[in-house]
Amino acid sequence: MSILLTTHCGIHEVRVGNTFYATDKILDDGNGNPPAGWGNPFQEGTITVTGQDAVFRDAAGHTVTFHARPNATSFLDVCS
């Protein structure tokens, strides 16, 4: 499925349907921005859900694996 992944405060979380997912470690530039080579505030790509994982891939070659957060009803962080 095609998505626009929010990257403005780094890459950490995504919601697919009613499930919230998070990475093991926030991907950022150390200042709360996306790492070099990522779009800001979004990165276009695809996400594939398999079991408890959601994998984001884009045309630039980025791949990020997110893990489901069972029973989560909101994001862990809200980007300002």
Question: What is the spatial distance between Cα 52 and Cα 37, in angstroms, rounded to a whole number?
Answer: 27
Tell me the pLDDT tens digit for each residue of 53-62.
999 999 999 9
Question: What is the spatial distance between Cα 77 and Cα 28, in angstroms, rounded to a whole number?
Answer: 14
Tell me the pLDDT tens digit for each residue of 26-60.
999 999 899 999 999 999 999 999 999 999 999 99
Q: Look up the pTM and report it.
A: 0.94
